[in-house]
Structure formats: structure tokens, C-alpha cells
Amino acid sequence: MDWIETHRDVVYPWQCDHMGHMNVMYYTGMFDRATWHLFGRVGAASEYVRSTRRGWAAVRSEIDYQRELLPGDMVVIRSRFLELGDRKAVFEHEMVDALSGEVAAVNRLVGVHLDLQERRAVPIPEAVRTAIETLMS
């Protein structure tokens, strides 16, 4: 699947730690915002959650940090689905320096589709499944 742009941001000085580079909590935050845009693309974001009481839980998240990001760096996050199961989706985000094109970090996640009232995994509905499969092909 081709990458889909899901977020743009800039690194602010207040996001940096005592070593001068962006702190890991802000990578996570940016990747999280990208996730909402990715799931919005397949009809499974905020309105879906509110109307169906179904949502997603990350059960695995792994970040590979490849390059420091410094105050003023502009970043683009692009995302794609990798695998689709009955109740889970595997997807990844790639955070790229918007000017140099260098990859700064890659976040690979496993998300499970949940019934938010019963707090258990449930099958991904056909419309969402079809939208994800279309992006993957």
C-alpha cells in the first residue's frame, strides 16, 4: 500500500528534553494524531466511535527512532495499513523531516476493534474492512 499523509507538525522548543531533541512523549502524541486521521480515512474515527460505541485499542506499539528531531524541524507523518484480521489491524506510521525527506522515526502498531461498553474485541464491520482492504490493494 502507498503511504497516506496523515499529519504535519513542527517541533517546538517546549517539546524538547534536556538533551535538546524532541522528547519521546511528543513522538507518541504525533503518531496518535496520525492514527485518528488514518482511521478517519476508512470511516472508523470519531463519528464512528460516537454512533456505534465501537472503537480501537492499541495492544502493541513499537517505535524505531532513526534520527533526532530538533526545535524548528518540520515533520510529515505518512501512514499505511499492513495487515487486517477479523478483529485487528496492523498499521505503521513513518515520521519524515519535511525538508530533507529523512525518516526520523517509524511506529508500528496493532489495533484491536472493541465494543466500548463490553470492553472486548469484536469483528471489524464489513464497511470498515472493505475500506482498509481497498487502501491495502
Query: Please, which pLDDT band fits residue 120 given cuts at 50, 70 and 90?
Result: very high
Q: What is the pLDDT of residues 69-103, one digit of tens each?
A: 999 999 999 999 999 999 999 999 999 999 999 99
Give me the CATH number covering residue 30. 3.10.129.10
User: How many helices and strands, by DSSP H and E, does the chain display?
Assistant: 3, 6
Contact indicator for 34, 93 with CB cutoff of 8 Å: yes
Domain containing 101 equals 4-136
Question: CB neighbours (10 Å) of residue 53?
Answer: 12
Q: How many domains are there within the chain?
A: 1
Q: What is the pLDDT of residues 47-61, one digit of tens each?
A: 999 999 999 999 999
Q: Is the pLDDT of residue 137 over 90?
A: no
